[in-house]
Amino acid sequence: MSETHEFDLAVIGAGPGGYVCALKAAQRGLKVLCVDRRETPGGTCLNVGCIPSKALLHSSERLHEAETEFSALGIDNVTPKLNLGQMMARKERVVGDTVKGIGYLFRKNNVTFRVGEAKLTGPHDLSINGERVTAKSIVIATGSAPVALPGVDFDEKRVVSSTGALSLEAVPKRLAVIGAGVIGLELGSVWKRLGSEVTIIEYGDHIAPGFDRGLGRQFQRSLEKLGLKFRLSTRVTKVEIEGSALDLTLQKVGQEETETLEADVVLVSIGRKPYTQGLDLGAVGIDTDEVGRIPVDPHFRTSCPSIYAIGDVIAGPMLAHKAEEEGLALAEQLAGHVGHVPYDAIPSVIYTQPEFAMVGKTEEQLKQEGVAYKTGSFPFMASARARAIAATDGGVKVLTDAKTDRILGVHILGACAGELIAEATLAMTFKASAEDIALACHAHPTLSEALKEAALGAFDQPLHL
């Protein structure tokens, strides 16, 4: 006779992976508990990440548009003024409404939500604030935490992670951003539009690591037009407090000489690490790898057969939507259905202006792998819609298999790139060819026509270039 447990499934973590897994499992008829140390569900993404940053990006972009572009559009007598308190209050309302929505979904689907610190005490046992809970299956979806610069702790006032950078009480005169990845570029552009002098320091020789290098150079020029300053191939060896200023010691890669950069606030955005503190993984025989990730099999099962892991705590890109897809797939599997994650078709987006989006392989990866490929490109400068809305920066690049025309990667730099990449992601999910996209009717005039034209270029030639 099988042992009876309080829950069919206990999910530790209510971020995008955890709450989605809990909801889908409940919809499939399982009795589900979801526990999180935050009082509000949604994890880092909804509370102090994706959602608040997009709210500030939108507000700052509208302010910058009013300051710099309205006159050219024929709109005169506009004198915008920043109200930072009101902008932050709107951001908090957006976050509040979003996390309330998850609470409503939990109640609607009969998911039990508990606030507390969860510790693994056995293959089917949890301790939540000292209280024992049992479940047939347990999912670890505890997400990730910011990586600090060695020897420099976050105080979230002057040395900040993304969390602190979303809630600064005043616009810093000088903001130094360490790391030219998604977080650094997005939040650096926010505070630049609001009045900061922003310098971004990157150890690598290019910004937006992992994205297309060719479009990346255009991307950097667009951000430089905004006023962002870049120090590439440079590392920060020390951050010292000197009175009211922070002194950063900079060193070019491969050189011994150093120099000093002064800032009022330093944003450290050099990456994130899996968050598994307090879980007591060792109590159930689960080890982590060299960077703190939990190894899992293709069905997300850990070395303890009744315990699973998804999202930022396992291998793969630390993306909210990747965690969501894993949560969905795992919930289906636990309910006796089929679940699958198309890892070769997971998009990534940098939500600056212009946006930078990608799905699939880059040219650099294809060259390294020795894959014969073809390229089709189309600039937004040649798009009628892009000219009409004054958004001609960037373009679309489509990469295809040289023999089969199957799409291997799509890269978009420009307005609404994060929305446009969805068509390419769908195409790649269903193993489409460039010809499939090119032969599909696209509304005119739209930005999506640039994807059609780039696809045409990959197997034939563009019409409007």
pLDDT in tens, 11-45: 999 999 999 999 999 999 999 999 999 999 999 99
Mean per-residue pLDDT for 282-311?
Answer: 97
pLDDT confidence of residue 151: 85
The first and second tokens of residue 334, run together, are 């636990």
- Identify which of 102, 97, 129, 123 has the alpha carbon closest to the alpha carbon of residue 113: 102
Interacting residues of 200 by C-beta distance below 8 A, sequence separation 6+: 177, 179, 180, 184, 185, 188, 207, 228, 229, 230, 231
Residue 2 has pLDDT above 60, yes or no: no
369 burial level (CB within 10 Å; 0-12, 13-18, 19+): exposed
Residue range 216-241: average pLDDT?
97
For residue 465, the model assigns a pLDDT of: 86
Domains of the chain: 7-145+273-341 (3.50.50.60), 159-270 (3.50.50.60), 345-459 (3.30.390.30)
**What is the tens place of the pLDDT at every residue in 330-368?**
999 999 999 999 999 999 999 999 999 999 999 999 999
Tens of pLDDT along 449-458? Answer: 999 999 999 9
Alpha carbon distance 48, 349 (integer Å):
18
Q: Are 218 and 240 in contact (CB under 8 A)?
A: no
pLDDT on residue 4: 72
- pLDDT for 21 equals 98
Q: Catalytic annotation on 444? A: yes
Residue 258, token pair as written in the block: 């150093």
Q: How many residues does the chain have?
A: 465
From the number of C-beta atoms within 10 Å of its C-beta (0-12, 13-18, 19+), residue 108 rates as: exposed
Report the pLDDT averaged over residues 107-135.
97
* C-alpha–C-alpha distance, residues 369 and 221, integer Å: 29
Which residues does residue 411 pair with via DSSP β-bridges, in sequence order? 358, 397
Give percent of the chain with pLDDT exceeding 70: 99
Residue 5's pLDDT band (boundaries 50, 70, 90)? confident
Q: How confident is the model at residue 68 (pLDDT cuts 50, 70, 90)?
A: very high
Provide CB contacts within 8 A for 148, sequence distance 6+. 154, 161, 268
Name which of 176, 139, 465 is nearest 304 in CA terms.
139
d(CA 317, CA 49): 16
96-100, 150-154, 210-214: least confidently modelled range: 150-154
Q: Give 217-242 as a DSSP string.
A: HHHHHHHHHHT-EEE-SEEEEEEEEE
Check: CB of residue 284 under 8 Å from CB of residue 123: yes
315 Ramachandran zone, left/alpha/beta (phi>0; psi -120 to 50): beta
3-state secondary structure of 32: strand
Segment 381-404, tens digit of pLDDT: 999 999 999 999 999 999 999 999
Residues 254-280 pLDDT 10s: 999 999 999 999 999 999 999 999 999
Tell me whether residue 5 is exposed, middle or buried, using C-beta atoms within 10 angstroms of its C-beta: 0 to 12, 13 to 18, 19 or more: middle
Summary mean pLDDT of the chain: 97
Q: What would the 3-class secondary structure string for 274-318 be?
A: ECCCCCCHHHHCCCCCCCCCCCCCCCCECCCCCEEECHHHCCCCC
pLDDT band at 1 (very low <50, low <70, confident <90, very high): very low
Q: Active site residue: 299, 337, 340, 444, which one?
A: 444
Asked whether 139 and 18 are in contact (CB, 8 A), the reply is yes
| pLDDT per residue as tens digits for the range 426-461 | 999 999 999 999 999 999 999 999 999 999 999 988
Can you say how many angstroms the Cα of residue 102 is from the centroid of all Cα atoms in its chain?
Answer: 20
DSSP state of 205: S
Q: Within 13 A of 20's CA, how many CA atoms are on the CB side?
A: 21
- Residue 228: what are its φ and ψ, rounded to 5°? -70, 140
What pLDDT shows up at residue 243? Answer: 86
Element (H, E) at 138: strand 131-140
